[in-house]
Amino acid sequence: SHPSVELRHVRFRYDERTPFVLDDLSLSLRPGEWLGLTGPSGVGKTTIVGLLLRFADAGSGAVLLDGVDVRRFGSEEVRARIGVVPQQVYLFNGTLRDNLLVADGEADDTRIAEACDRSGLGPFVRSLPSGFDTLVGDDGLKLSGGERQRVAIARVFLKDAPIMILDEATANLDAATESEVLANVRVFARGKTCS
């Protein structure tokens, strides 16, 4: 089933000496709904992602998945239900395949190739002499920003979680690739809860 996501009167600040990043924020996403959060840097968009993933807990108010406060779930349980394309993509020193399998260690080459095609990474992978066995370098240094971003998007496709969060997921993509990737995300995400 696809969960609902709700924030009720959430207040959050990083420490007691700083102002609230989120102050009485409420929002609700029913299963299958999409939400786009826009605004200048520092208004709390990424903070909302962190609260959903339980990297931090709300100072007051509640963050709910299917009506249940996320604090009642373990961090790993919450993160298993949410696929995220983060602002900063982390890749470890290994092969492209290893970096994709982080999302689903059981995925076979067919599923990996499908995820790469959906993310726009497929043509790049097919151009590599070693394909999925290409070493990406420490923190993916051998890949461009756009290629790194597409690896993160492919991970979300492989994970196939009921909730998808794209945190500036297309920031490093050109306009044509962005349009193609977002169209593929919309098709893949039918029925999922997305922001």
pLDDT digits (tens, 9 = 90+) for 35-79: 888 888 888 888 999 999 999 999 999 999 989 999 999 988 998
The reply to whether 173 falls in a domain is: yes
Q: Name the pLDDT band for 20 (thresholds 50, 70, 90).
A: very high
| Entry pTM | 0.82
Pair (121, 177) in one structural domain: yes
Domain of residue 48 covers: 5-80
Pair (111, 183) in one structural domain: yes
63 touches 119 (CB < 8 A): no
Q: What average pLDDT does the structure give for the chain?
A: 88
User: How do residues 79-113 score in pLDDT, each as one tens digit?
Assistant: 889 988 888 889 999 999 999 999 999 999 999 99
The reply to whether 91 falls in a domain is: no
pLDDT more than 70, % of the chain: 94
147 touches 119 (CB < 8 A): no
Q: What is the mean pLDDT of residues 120-141?
A: 93
The reply to whether 88 falls in a domain is: no
Residue 193 has what pLDDT? 57
Q: What is the mean pLDDT of residues 9-38?
A: 91
**CATH number of the domain where residue 174 is located:** 3.40.50.300
**Rounded to an integer, what distance in angstroms lies between the CA atom of residue 37 and that of residue 24?**
16
